[in-house]
Amino acid sequence: MFIGTNDGKKREPSTSSSAQWPQSCRQFGFPEILLATENFDESLVIGHGGFGKVYKGNFIDGSCILVAAVKRLDSMSNLGATEFWAEIEMLSKLRHCHLVSLVGYCNYEKEMILVYEYMPNGTLEDHLHKFGTPLSWLQRLKICIGAGRGLHYLHTGTGIEFGVIHRDVKSSNILLHESWAAKISDFGLSRIGPTNQPTTYVNTLVKGTFGYLDPNYFTTGRLTRKSDVYAFGVVLLEVLCRKRAVDKSLDEEQWGLATWAQEFITTGNFKHIVDSEIRGQISPKCLKGFVRIVDKMFARQS
């Protein structure tokens, strides 16, 4: 791809990171989206799920190409216009180094498209369960700390007038920057709540991902910050064990990672559930502290 210049010469544009995008959320025209994704070329797909597909998009901005992640909602998806506009509204108000930034959106006829800053290292789920080279313990710890800070920002409403309950915290919704900084993504199911009442709940239909659902929320329909904290505890277990949140190879009553690991945590035999690739990298004191935090996240809230 080349861009013409005033001197008549053609030059190849330089590629710039998503950090160069302006802070304000902009509305893209559908032709811009088609050009950036080469008509939704399958070779540019970098992710997919129940919502549809995510493409790597190259947007021309003067003499630069700005890279972004383009999420195209499938018309057959369970996520509809409500979640689409909810995510735009939410991310337009939230700014934090550990939250993914929304660059803009496109709403054209039946097309609902969200454009985010591009995260070159994919998702935490990718590196735990799909890619061959395992993350080191220090890398995993850095990712957990970053995601935890992002979640704390959402709950406390730092810099904004309300707190946010994410409602779908999971390893596939934690994106990784080129520096391995963690960024929480996917706010379509999020709900707003007061910042000064930690136990305040929102009555809502139960939504989220099996394996990460807080049992209290699942049985009562009362959504609280604790619902996010429980889900993040499952993520921390994934990081420690490198096992999926749901493992159907186990007995049915132990499909959930939290249920399976609880016995080891309660008896103090948690060293046996640590990913073999990192056992030699964790000091006993660090492991004990990490597991204590996870155990507190699973504690039932009065």
- Quote the pLDDT of residue 8: 45
Residues 56-87 as b/e (b if ≥16 CB within 10 A, e otherwise) read: bbbbeeeeebbbbbbbbbeeeeebeeebbebb
Q: How far apart are CA 239 and CA 246, in angstroms?
A: 14
- Quote the pLDDT of residue 175: 96
- Residue 173 CB partners (closer than 8 Å, separation 6+): 123, 184, 185, 186
Residues annotated in a binding site for ATP: 71
Instruction: Indicate which residue of 126, 168, 186, 275 is catalytic.
Output: 168
Same domain, 198 and 290: yes
- Across the 302 residues of the chain, what is the mean pLDDT of every consecutive 10-residue run? 40 47 80 97 87 91 88 77 83 89 92 94 94 93 98 82 86 94 90 61 75 90 91 98 86 80 89 94 96 91 46
Domain residues for the domain of 52 are 3-117
Among 117, 134, 169, give the residue marking a domain's end.
117
Residues annotated in a binding site: 71
- Quote the pLDDT of residue 20: 56
For β-strands 26-27 and 102-108, DSSP reports them as parallel
pLDDT digits (tens, 9 = 90+) for 190-221: 887 655 555 566 667 778 888 999 998 888 88
Among 97, 117, 137, give the residue marking a domain's end.
117
- Quote the pLDDT of residue 75: 74
Q: How far apart are CA 165 and CA 163, in angstroms?
A: 7
- Quote the pLDDT of residue 233: 97
Q: How far apart are CA 136 and CA 133, in angstroms?
A: 9
Q: How many domains is the chain built from?
A: 2
- Quote the pLDDT of residue 11: 42
Q: How far apart are CA 267 and CA 40, in angstroms?
A: 51
Reply yes or no on whether 168 is catalytic: yes
- Quote the pLDDT of residue 82: 80
pLDDT digits (tens, 9 = 90+) for 120-163: 999 999 999 988 889 999 999 999 999 999 999 999 876 666 68
Which residue bears the tokens 């492991």? 287
Same domain, 130 and 156: yes
- Quote the pLDDT of residue 40: 97
Same domain, 132 and 193: yes
Same domain, 80 and 61: yes
